[in-house]
Amino acid sequence: MGTVAVRIAIGAAILAVGLTGCSNGSGYRTEMRAAIWAVRSVSERNVEIVVINGGCIDYDHTDIELHADLVRLQVWNRVMVPTDNRHVCTANEKLVTESVRLAEPLGMRTIVGACTPGDDLQGRYCRDAMQMGGRT
């Protein structure tokens, strides 16, 4: 492959990652990805969630949207992606509990955004999160 083709391939890879990924110079790049999660418990101003992590995946943050009838949570993981075949990530699954503080009391609102056990791609992981005490 010539120099121009290599540069085009690298440019295409950078465009594919977009603004979500950046190289940290250690053989990995960091990406923000939506997490698989379930609700574990709820109080007036606090939602405890179970998040799937493991290997090169760690919980990063939760975005909260408060609406009149619902609270939408978007949970984000920070993922370290190997940039070459000399670096790897283990496939071990880790369930972590995180606490999300609400700016207003939950009241009668429904919490939305959690995983669904019937989802073909996320189903097994969602069931694992729910078994840890979570629910959707």
**Parallel/antiparallel/unpaired status of strands 28-34 and 37-42:** unpaired
**For position 26, what pLDDT does the model report?**
75
Measured CA to CA, the distance from residue 40 to residue 125 in angstroms comes to 15
Residue 119: which residues within 8 A CB-CB, separation 6 or more? 126
| SS3 label, residue 41 | strand
Q: pLDDT category, 69, cuts 50, 70, 90?
A: very high
pLDDT of 117 > 60? The answer is yes
| SS3 label, residue 126 | helix
